[in-house]
Chains A and B, each alone.
Chain A
């Protein structure tokens, strides 16, 4: 069953999301391009939480990608970017925690600022683990909490306000990836230990 509370929250954000995300997207462009350059033609690729499709500009061309998002309003806004992409993107409205893809269906799963906002991150990650093939790759661009003082305090203090309007600020996403059954292969810190890319694989 789709998490309606989360869906409503992101539906409400869709109208002004691009305006707020302009700066972060410009800033993160090189790191996101590097991460998405790992998409391999011929692979079955899942992109979890497409949002308004801002990341599509950083996808390498000629890929076949299945993209999901919980918010129909976000996906409406993503549609022009989906059409302009020089490859094929199939879009479905779906909750990452309750996907209806078969087990072991995808070779690669990509996420971008997704698991700061999924209310039950371990359940969402377990769901991604299920749909990945054995030895399949999980590649994530995420922001997390910090272990460095005083930045840990700052993020902990901001979290009670931020979580009501959008993302959680202090999640330990790397530990959550491990808890969901993945083997974390590398973590690349892009800003402090807060903004990072994570590469993990499904081992059985």
Chain B
């Protein structure tokens, strides 16, 4: 499991920033759509926007280690604008929630990694 501070900080920054990108991409969709449709389209648009920005962070901090938690964070955070319409009016709150979801996605990935890390000898 990664213990180098540079990469840990890089992962947290990448996940939170990329989740904010996902939230903002979904925020740009019309708020007049039915919630379920907006959620699904928002998720797809958010993930595509995140993938477009992803290489900027990957070139500094790693490949799959950045991509997997960041895409998870983005998938969840891009559903936010449709799930809680009252937050649409406050971009600051929306950004902070997006970043928070990114950090949680990174934490979830790190805890899961703890359980799967290591060598399996084939029988």
A residues in contact (CB < 8 Å) with B: 19-24, 26-28, 143, 146, 148, 150-151, 154-155, 157-158, 161, 183-195
Contacts and interface: CB of A to CB of B under 8 A. Distances in A.
Given A20-B58, A24-B58, A195-B64, A187 B122 contact: yes
B37 interface: no
B67 interface: yes
A157 B51 CA distance: 11
Given A187-B122, A191-B64, A148 B112 contact: yes
Contacts of A27: 2, 7, 61-63, 65
A23 B59 contact: yes
A52 B109 CA distance: 31
16 contacts: A23-B61, A23-B63, A24-B63, A27-B63, A28-B62, A143-B63, A151-B109, A151-B112, A154-B71, A154-B75, A158-B71, A185-B121, A187-B119, A188-B118, A189-B120, A190-B117
Contacts, number: 89
A58 to B, nearest CB: 16
A23 B60 contact: yes
Interface in B30-54: 47-48, 51
A192 B55 contact: no
Contact of B62 (A23, A151, A161): A23
Given A154-B72, A161-B48, A188 B61 contact: no
Contacts of A184: 122
A108 B25 CA distance: 48
Contact of A148 (B116, B119, B122): B116
Nearest to B51: A161
B93 interface: no
Interface string B2-33: 10000100100000000000000000000000
Nearest to A155: B68
Given A28-B62, A185-B122, A188-B120, 15 more contacts: A20-B55, A23-B63, A24-B62, A146-B68, A151-B68, A154-B68, A155-B68, A157-B47, A157-B71, A158-B51, A189-B119, A191-B2, A192-B68, A192-B112, A195-B65
**Would you list the 3 A-B pairs with minimal beta carbon distance, nearest first?**
A27-B62, A24-B63, A188-B119
B28 to A, nearest CB: 20
Interface in B74-120: 75, 109, 112-113, 116-120
A154 B67 CA distance: 9
A189 B122 contact: no
A43 to B, nearest CB: 23
B5 to A, nearest CB: 13
